[in-house]
Copies of this chain bind each other. A is one copy, B any other.
Amino acid sequence: MNDTWIECVPNISEGRDLSRIDAFEQALSSVPGTVLLDRTSDVDHNRTVMTFVAHPGSVIEAAVRLAAKAAEVIDLNHHHGVHPRLGALDILPFVPLGNATVDQCVALAHEAGARIWNEVGIPVYFYDAAALRNDRVRLENVRRGQFEGLRAAVVGDESKRPDLGGPSLHPTAGAVIVGARKILIAYNINLKSTDLGLAKSIARRIRASSGGFPSVKALGVPLQSRGLVQVAINFTDFEQTPVHVVYSEVCRLAAERGIEIEESELIGLMPRTALEAAAAGLLKLSHFDSRRVIENRVEA
């Protein structure tokens, strides 16, 4: 892939009404050059996550149309779900693929945010690499209080106000949180065990926040329907900490307690280089690089 492709992963506050969700998809597909890779809706979360790719010239137009469509059909005053949300189009991260860079995605995020405020009239917060303030890098910090809490807070507290537009939130569509980040890999490892304490202790050992691997988030959770426990992992920078390094460490930690790995699972998609690195790492392949893959050479 020599081309510059951008992945965009809008999270929309509607996961129940299929006719609305189809309308979101149509808003995206109405822009030539967009390719929808995945669409996952969750009824409990009342949220839909779309993963699409496009060239830089198309990705902003698609995002703006989606923001407009979400604002048209969603009223957050009547929205309920277990997942926190601030906007009808809640988050809008831009992610570099192929030769694209995070810096390029920051520029796209800022341009998309400006158009969403100027053309659709919804205020915008910027997060992650696109953040304009240090206290807005982390998504959790931006969204704290959600629609209802922030709508009230911005009235008296200037520090809570949107980066673009406002100062009030949109009365029904809230605000859009626009960002740029490296690609994220969501990957779970299921243990042949019902010992939730084990899954939680392994998660603590591997995650960055408790001194484990950098760029790794992890939780131990029960999979009650399957009689297993899971270490649920996000890799926010798979080049810094590769997937297979964490997999091997989880195997080792589980084996110390006599527990085997049942399987692992990928949520959504992963980039080719992450998979190539996993194969090379687990096969202990010396001197491997992507040029050893025939198709990579042919395409180049």
Contact = CB atoms under 8 A, between A and B. Distances in A.
B295 A1 contact: yes
A78 interface: no
5 nearest CB pairs, A to B: A282-B282, A279-B279, A278-B279, A263-B286, A272-B295
A269 B262 CA distance: 32
A53 B272 CA distance: 22
A297 B269 contact: yes
Interface of A: 1, 5, 7, 35, 37, 53, 97-98, 183, 243-244, 247, 261-266, 268-272, 275-276, 278-280, 282-288, 292-299
Given A275-B275, A292-B266, A292-B269, A284 B261 contact: yes
A293 B264 contact: no
A285 B298 contact: no
Given A270-B293, A272-B293, 9 more contacts: A1-B298, A37-B297, A183-B294, A243-B283, A244-B279, A263-B284, A263-B286, A269-B297, A278-B282
Contacts of A247: 283
Contacts of A296: 272
A7 B297 CA distance: 12
A243 to B, nearest CB: 7
Given A35-B298, A272-B296, A295-B1, A264 B279 contact: no
A260 B114 CA distance: 58
B294 A37 contact: yes
A274 to B, nearest CB: 9
Nearest to A268: B292
B275 A263 contact: no
B279 A293 contact: no
B278 A283 contact: yes
Given A37-B294, A97-B294, A293-B271, A286 B299 contact: no
A277 B272 CA distance: 12
A188 to B, nearest CB: 10
B294 A270 contact: yes
A53 B278 contact: no
A257 B116 CA distance: 65
A270 to B, nearest CB: 6
Contact of A266 (B288, B295, B297): B288
